[in-house]
Amino acid sequence: MSGVQTLSVTDDEHELRVDRWFKRHFPDLKHGRLEKLLRTGQIRVDGKRAKSNQRLEAGQAVRVPPLGEQPDLPPDDEPRVSQADAAMIRACVIHMDDDVIVLNKPPGLATQGGTGTNRHIDGMLEALRYDYPDKPRLVHRLDRDTSGVLVVGRTAKAASVLAAAFKSRDARKVYWAVVVGAPKPSEGRLSAPLAKAPGKAGERMEVDEDWGKPAVTVFRTVEAVAGKAAWLEMEPLTGRTHQLRVHAAAMGTPILGDGKYGGAEAHLSGRGVSRKLHLHARALRLPHPHGGMLDVKAELPEHMAETFEFFAFDVAEAGDAFGEG
């Protein structure tokens, strides 16, 4: 790469650290060199000096100085995917065409790497390259403990179009959650601004009417069990960190297994009820890079399927995810 670039932070990259943002866009840039560019003020965010741990916001402009040609890694030094991980990630594919691959991400597996996270989806995408010149690219992400639909672009052009769909909200996402208790009313539209909570106890969001950023979720109860638990269909109209988890807790019905936002009340006793997070990206509809709409849905992970069986929730009751037909 030659010359200065100015790149915009996408909605999907909101709250991503500067160093991880560079790792995503320039994977061959060494950490030591990145730190030097930051120290000397050559990298700037909205015209101001930046630090590696600074959190970016959607819409900000990142100044990228000339980095020079990044040498190709010799074959022996290329990141390798273990046979077990390659088989696992290929088994997660639920849709593949010339432009798009869709995965059913398992719970407990991070989408991207970070401090102390060496095993993640992004690091396994080489196994999905097949005969393409480059590995597929992430265009959005799911939290580590959230399962379900995850889209990657097979080419740079396709990834750009897909990322733009997420940024413009042309993409619609429907999640399934099992919550403790039953929301009242049973369906509606919740608008509760979210802000990052103070403190150093890990990333945590909270409702903040004064300083929070707009966060809107549409929800409906598909089935409920005597006020003990309910199966919700939730569609986020904004893309804030942990939005559905915070909104569910704010309604007094924390997502089952979400001790972070629901504490002890987020767990139920019973041999058929897992303590894992019960949040699943069930369905996605978005414009396809080559025209038309792409509609995909992902089956429940094992622990949620067992909970559905325990409470006798019938998947057929959900109907069409986007309210048609």
**For residue 237, what is the DSSP state?**
S
Residue 94 CB contacts under 8 Å (≥ 6 apart), including other chains: 102, 103, 104, 149, 296, 298
Q: Which of 179, 205, 175, 177 is nearest to 193 (CA)?
A: 205
- Contact of 51 with 17, CB cutoff 8 Å: no
Q: Is 218 helix (H, G, I), strand (E, B) or coil?
A: strand
Q: Which of 20, 8, 27, 15 is nearest to 196 (CA)?
A: 15
- Contact of 64 with 7, CB cutoff 8 Å: yes
For helices 18-25 and 31-39, the axis angle rounded to 10 degrees is: 130
85 is catalytic: no
Alpha carbons 44 and 51: distance in angstroms, whole number: 9
Vertex 245 angle, CA 244 and 251, to 5°: 85
Alpha carbons 129 and 137: distance in angstroms, whole number: 10
Query: Active-site residue among 11, 19, 122, 143?
Result: 143
Q: Which tokens is 163 given?
A: 């990322």
- Contact of 93 with 130, CB cutoff 8 Å: no
Q: Which tokens is 299 given?
A: 């089956």
Indicate which residues carry an active-site annotation.
143
